[in-house]
Chain A
Amino acid sequence: METPQKEIYRYLGMKEEAADEKTRFLVADCLRELQEAAKPRSFYRVYPLEILPDGVLDLTCMRMRSRDLGKNLAGCEAAVLFAATLGAGVDRLLLRYGRLAVSRAAVLQAASAAMIEAYCDGCNERLREEARAKGFFLRPRFSPGYGDFALACQRDLCRALEAEKTVGITLTEGGMMAPSKSVTAVIGAGRAPASGEEEGCGTCEKRDSCAFARREKAFFGRGAADSGKSAADSGKSGGNDGSKGCVKGADPSV
């Protein structure tokens, strides 16, 4: 799995081209260390989907109400529940460098956010191909925390996937995923391809306020407000804080 450099810099709040030699060295070195520590794992199960007249989404293993997820799942008759994680080793690294070398911690944070994202993309691509062979079209993955898809649904998702046993994702009392570089998502499967926005932040209603939404120009334009944003505490990648590659941008401010 290739972790895209461009994404790492995006999470760091800068363009790859703007990086000096030292920054490049640091990014490369962190990525090397990260690759040793990361143990990506994923798991999925397919459930039938019924959208009830009152808008409730019934996946048989869980029921929820979400306008945005509903939009994403429109026209689907089944859904893949998906979980992925980079494992606890990455958190060990973040813990260590958070105490000892914050430059490294910030870069590792950004790199691991990019890595889990790329890993999920790879897994989803394979799922997409498998589904295609069976006559299904998959929707972009949609995680608790995107739009109005409640973070609280994380618990049901993890239970349905037995995530603790299958991939080693646990939830804290407050519902955060541990290990932190973890993702859960719902991926719709329909007989017809999706209409409209296929990828990225299309259906997320937070896209306008999100520093990491894929609005290349605005973001890289480095408007005053965005200039200091870093992915330092972010990168939960559709996971812990919900937002997608958008990843609510963790500025390191306090």
Chain B
Amino acid sequence: MGVRDVLKERILLFDGGTGTLLQKAGLAPGELPEVWNVTHPEVLYGIHRAYLEAGCDVILANTFGANGLKYHPGAEYGLETVVSAAMENARRAVREAGRGYVALDIGPTGRLLKPMGDLEFERAVSLYQEVVKAGVRGGADLILIETMGDLHELKAAVLAAKENSDLPVFATVIFDAGGKLLTGGTPEAVVAMLEGLGVDALGINCGLGPEQMRPLAERLVRCASVPVIVTPNAGLPRSEGKRTVYDVGPEEFAASMQEILDLGVSAVGGCCGTTPEHIRLLAKRCAGKKAPQIAPKEETVVCSYASAVTIGRDPVIIGERINPTGKARVKQALRSRDMEYILREGITQQENGAAILDVNVGLPEIDEPSVMEETVRELQAVTELPLQIDTSDYKAMERALRIYNGKALINSVNGKQEVMDAVFPLVRHYGGVVVALTLDENGIPPTAEGRLAIARRICAEAARYGIGKKDILIDALCMTVSSEPEGALVTLETVRRVRKELGVKTILGVSNISFGLPAREQINAAFFVMALQSGLNAAIVNPNSAAMMRAYYSYRALAALDGHCADYIRALGAGVTGVGAGGAGAGTGKTAALPADATGAAGEEASVSQLAASVEHGLKDQARRAASQLLEKGMEGLAVINDCLVPALSRVGEGFETGRIFLPQLLMSADAAREAFEVIREAMARTGTAAGKKEKIVLATVRGDIHDIGKNIVRVLLENYGYEVIDLGKDVDPQRIVKETADGRIRLVGLSALMTTTVPAMEETIRLLRKEAPWARVMVGGAVLTPEYAAQIGADAYCRDAMASVRYAQEILG
């Protein structure tokens, strides 16, 4: 009988802690425990036997910390050596005890993934892959991924396990007492992602004692459709000198675990501080206990690295703005890989009430898979909203789904066989909720009946892949009402019947309805409310449209979905700028009003001075409005820049250099100017005018350095002064900096380093630049540098602050 079968019949019992027992046997602090698999096999065998004698079903091979980072080819013991020794010790115990299963135990790599750390997602996958392969060779019965504190790393581990073995995969995470992972994930998000990836069981281990774990176990049981595992520590750790001690004894532990078992948990065991005696008493409590009945949960859930969004009775807004269709500025941003613009579009929609962001980067002339991957990567670094991967390019879809940090919404599949054949395997492999359009080879049926038939077929085909109804959102398709008078009614009827007859949730792109009509927002909003009333669960709309969001909040208040009308009041109440103010302000919209004399805005002259004042005062919203007004009055974009923004920025810069103003003011002005520039760029993109930028400058934070705020500040200032910055980011390899500089014949390179330990990388970069791009000047800055140090490593200039780098650029490039 396999472990999967045991889980169906009775409680599955895991073993307890190993670390404390190894320390008792003499493992020194700081010594790598997996080395003992080779040097002290008897000790490991003894521990495994003791746990099996205590009555547990599953023993964990001593492979928790085994990965290629610690056991690299240059180390005393290689990965294969410690893993195969671990497996043999465990297998021998099972062999001689005549019972039990061996789990390949997989823990975190010890490094944080990008962007907060420096480990690439695919590198993490390949590190785990090595362990999985070695474990499979060593005869593992199952794979237990445990103590994971980051959803992204957890995903890497599960993918590696699933892609390199057919073994049952169990995954447990470590929460703090508040129910958050180290990087912020909640139990609901963990369940959504892990079930999407198809694990056999999931749960929680380490970090907490049974008492603190109980409420979290309850949350897991409530939302999980697979068996839940709970393996706590023997209480909360406490330092006693150099030892960590745990205070919950075997009796107390077993008693607390009884309460956890009563919640409907399917597997239990112990983590740090638990001993064979803890497990022996727990085994008594489990004896004869039948496996709990697990009801499949029907909630439709997507999640980001941090939070889960449930798509159900309470409808959600999916922001549609990251999509080049009909948007010149988005097209331009995607072509030039201007990620900042895309990120701002994302954050603005978030601030205006979107719960999920649609991401569509489909342009004929770009490499969609790589742009899609980059966009998803960048967006998920700055927003905690789940993303909707919107593409018909399956390569792009797969790459986005693979690196996506959570469980994504996928847009879309439809009734065409070839499309289902391509999309469903991806949904099954990576998890996700998929949008299903009610069209097929014969087009869009004119009747609700026809669309319903397609929806049924799609659901049936999905079921063949093990994709349940809860992971499908039917799109009833919205036709233009001006050309199809019955179109709206057919759509609404389809929505109603899909909900009622199929029990599947629905989604609509609402804005289509109004094509060709005046006052489009008006009819969009009215149709939106009708659709919501028909049972629509998710709407792809423009959250920056006040009309749509007012309709949304009104509906929720009237449908008793907004307790005390709290959201309605917050969004539409007095004193608030109002939904749809379109603030790209990233939380900074609430600035003080300008002096009265500057807000009049009568003639062009007044507007010029108003824009200048907004920039000098660092007021983003005003700067944006003033710039729009100037353009509306017919002033040329370039004139706005040269007659207004540049002089204002110069005054601010001089003020900073003379000590009249300070860094925060300088930067608030820079941010305000950036808003104005953005308005101008948008206008120029519409008319197809060239932006007329100055020379290019390459900027990078050097290899090994993962902090880049200083570099970002320099970038914004240089851009405000008209330079085009090629921002290579952080932790950048010298070769890449050199290549960009040489290929583009760039004349100025800016390098940043924060730590003494990364200055050698800066020195190496300069040396290579001298060789491969001898024409380039190099300016450097950053926490650890001084003018002397800069000279010593061969830089042309040391810039003590961002203004100094602007001045140097002016000196060199003009």
Contacts and interface: CB of A to CB of B under 8 A. Distances in A.
Contacts of B706: 172, 176, 178, 180
B147 A165 contact: yes
Contacts of B716: 102
Interface centre among A159, A162, A178 (most CB of B within 10 A): A178
Interface in A18-33: 18-23, 25-27, 29, 33
A213 to B, nearest CB: 14
Nearest to B708: A98
Question: Interface size bucket, B side?
Answer: 35 or more
Interface residues of A, number: 86
Nearest to A12: B663
Contacts of B663: 12-14, 106, 228, 230, 232, 252
A48 to B, nearest CB: 8
A157 to B, nearest CB: 10
A247 B754 CA distance: 11
B710 A251 contact: yes
A106 B802 CA distance: 12
B242 interface: yes
Given A101-B671, A174-B757, A251-B783, A87 B182 contact: yes
A170 B69 CA distance: 13
A33 B708 CA distance: 20
Contacts of A225: 800
Interface in A31-45: 33, 39, 43-45
Contact of A178 (B29, B116, B757, B781): B116
Contacts of A100: 340, 343-344, 347, 382, 584, 586
A98 B709 contact: yes
B704 A229 contact: no
B799 A254 contact: yes
Interface stretch (A69-77, A88-96, A118-126): A88-96
Contacts, number: 276
A173 interface: yes
B664 A107 contact: yes
Contacts of A227: 657, 659
Given A105-B713, A106-B667, A160-B29, A151 B755 contact: yes
Interface in B726-767: 750-752, 754-758
Contacts of A242: 755-756
Given A99-B340, A105-B713, A88 B237 contact: no
Interface string A152-186: 00001001101011101011111110111000000
A62 B656 CA distance: 47
B801 interface: yes
A179 B113 CA distance: 11
A249 interface: yes
B30 interface: yes
Interface stretch (A50-58, A135-143, A190-198, A233-241): A233-241
Contacts of A233: 707-711, 752, 754, 782-783
A39 B587 contact: no
B176 A39 contact: yes
B241 interface: yes
Given A23-B662, A240-B755, 17 more contacts: A23-B664, A29-B588, A47-B241, A88-B116, A91-B116, A99-B339, A99-B343, A106-B663, A170-B110, A178-B117, A232-B709, A234-B754, A241-B754, A252-B709, A252-B781, A253-B710, A253-B752
5 contacts: A45-B241, A47-B241, A92-B184, A95-B382, A228-B802
Interface of A: 12-14, 18-23, 25-27, 29, 33, 39, 43-48, 60-62, 87-89, 91-92, 94-107, 109, 145, 151, 156, 159-160, 162, 164-166, 168, 170-176, 178-180, 209, 222, 225, 227-230, 232-234, 236, 240-242, 247-254
Interface of B: 29-30, 108, 110-112, 115-118, 147, 149, 174, 176, 180, 182-184, 206, 237, 239, 241-244, 339-340, 343-344, 347, 381-384, 584-588, 590-592, 617-618, 656-657, 659, 662-665, 667-668, 670-671, 699, 703-714, 716, 750-752, 754-758, 779-784, 786, 798-805
In the A-B complex, the 8 residue pairs with the smallest Cβ-Cβ separation, listed nearest first, are A253-B781, A228-B801, A174-B704, A103-B667, A254-B781, A233-B710, A253-B799, A252-B713
